[in-house]
Structure 1
Amino acid sequence: MDELLGGHLRTLREAAATGRLPDRTELDDCRATGARAAERGVSVRALVEAALLMAESMSTAPPLPALRRTVSALMEGYENAQRSALRQEEDARREFVNDLLQGRADRLAERAEHFGLRLAETYMVAVARPAGPKADGPAPDRAAGDQVGDHVGDRAGDRAGDRAGDRAAGDGGMPARRIEEAMITRFGSHNVLIAVREGMLVCVVPGSLAVATGEFTHHVRQMFAPGWRVGLGRSHRGPGGVVTSYREGANAIELGDRLGLRAPVLKAADLLVFPVLLRDRAAIEDLVTTVLSSLLEARGGPGPLLDTLEAVFASQGNQAAAARKLGVSTRAVTYRLERIRRLTGFSPDDPTQRFTLETAVLGARLLDWPAHPLG
């Protein structure tokens, strides 16, 4: 400690001999000393105590204003070094999560150990989107996670994209930081990785800690304005599994938008049928055209009839409940279903035909038909 505070002692001796206050250069030297103490792991209390003991041991006591300024400079340098170290750690953490979600393998396992992750285990990802549509989001047929804003493959761009995402996540990223702090306080930094990506807040947790995604959703509900959505990916093993789970969570949100689903929390496991449908676009287009195209002939267009089918299916065939959802009478629902049967030849009362109709209606929503005519 004597070697570390040698410059501080010389400054105090000079002040005691001349009565002058430390100049800028001497105070800068004290700040540098404080920074070195922080880098060596010396506590700020031990640093200040050693500096005061040095002043007490001097044969001629230095002026109190001089001692106050040097000690203040020591503490300032110490705090600046700590803040810098925290920023570097945050940058490294953000860069690691970004590389993890993009599937970049550069020293991934080694870097994961630094953050307490064991990548051979299973992980699941929760993705939270603030209220409103995502700006510059991926196109419907592109896998989520293929881009970071408009910055692809550029680490400086990645960080810029993250900062833009912080703003999209609300109030300069403050909700994101608060959620991260709350999650780490409860589950530990080795169990939680949180980052902002493409304007969405991403939370990576072990597959064995599914309760953490519920806690994450709770904090999102508390911090984000109404209109937020959370997509939950399934548990998968290894670094590639993290990427897969992230894409599942992001795609669950996108599917919820395209299907007009009202639930704020969407589980990829509950939506597995939709990627299957989209995998064979030609087949789903043929189904929609064959089953529903005759609804284009209906007076007032197909919209009210499609809405009626969706409401009936969501109500498990209960026409009274469907009528309440639609804000019409039960008689109106019955009348519309009869029109659908006459126009399409399919009845939601028949189990086989009901499945065909429901699949066709889901396909229509996925393809945004009839707003976008099918080729």
Structure 2
Amino acid sequence: MADDDLTARLRAASAACTRSVLHGERESPADAFARLGAACGELGIDSWDTYGDGGAVARLEAEVAELLGKPAAVFFPSGVMGQQAALRAWCERSGSRRVALPDRSHLLVHEEDGPRELHGFRFEHLTTGRRTATAADLLALPAGLGAALVELPLRDAGCRLPTWDELVDLSRTARELGVPLHVDGARLWESQPFLDHSLPEVADLADSVYVSFYKVLGAHAGAAVAGPADLAADLRRWRRRMGGTLFRMTPYAVGALAGLHEHLPRVGEYVGWARDLARELSAAGFTVDPDPPHTNTFQVHAPGRADAVNERLAEFMERERLAPGSPWWDAPVPGLVTTEVAVQGAALAHDPAQVARLWTEIVGLRRS
């Protein structure tokens, strides 16, 4: 079967599934909007925002600022916009468009060169490959940086995190050098259990922090950048300039507030279940990276060919109407396949040992 045909088959099979092992339960647009309506009642949201002022947006910004221990937070319809605005604001202040960041950063890999085309950033690699940043990496770069970005966790390295001491040293060095440190915290909520410090303690190490609302929190879209009050004023200007100050942003804010109240208290459970699954997969002959996982998200490797594994995955979903995980891709090392595990609330209803046995059959590993 051609790759395009298999991809289409996988998508159709996944869409037809009525249950999911790892991700949130499936719901129609009508059900999703009904859930938002119910959340308005539960949260006491009875007024709209107007171009981001007031209503649920103001409440969300206040809650995020308090959660992260920052003076202010600004809502954005997307993390792409929020992070570009934050880096632009810091670079405008410093007079330098040089930004240090990992070579696997979202800004370099997934944004169609937008940050450079729109803002003229000159990117320099803080790290390369699967390694997380240290103070030595920052010290090795020439002086005159406009900002530095660290991704917590480094998603394209299996959601890998630095140790707490490494992060403290990096923060101290950035401040000694006068380099604003921005945290790409798309998965910061999920990183807190591994770092074993409170969210305000983590955020205090950075000058600005971006967080996402649509991943583990389950909102439909949206992000926020938290930092000093004067930075927030700059962020609001850049949000308007970039077309992000929509007339009504209440639906996104309500979804984010509901996620903060429903899912944030349970993130530790999601991370714990991910580690239980990783342990079962390792025992079954899979390679887990990192092992144990640093967050609720990690990578899994196994012998095989992606087309053969995905054929079996499609057959299973078509037969059982259950989505056991994401498709697999051929790893850079010949003869190995890789997938990403991202654990959300639905996983807690499943036995990690049973899921590992299911994956063994789909991948075609022989049981020891």
- TM-score using structure 2 length: 0.23
**Larger-gyration structure (1/2):** 1
Greater share of strand: 2
Normalising by structure 1, we get a TM-score of: 0.22
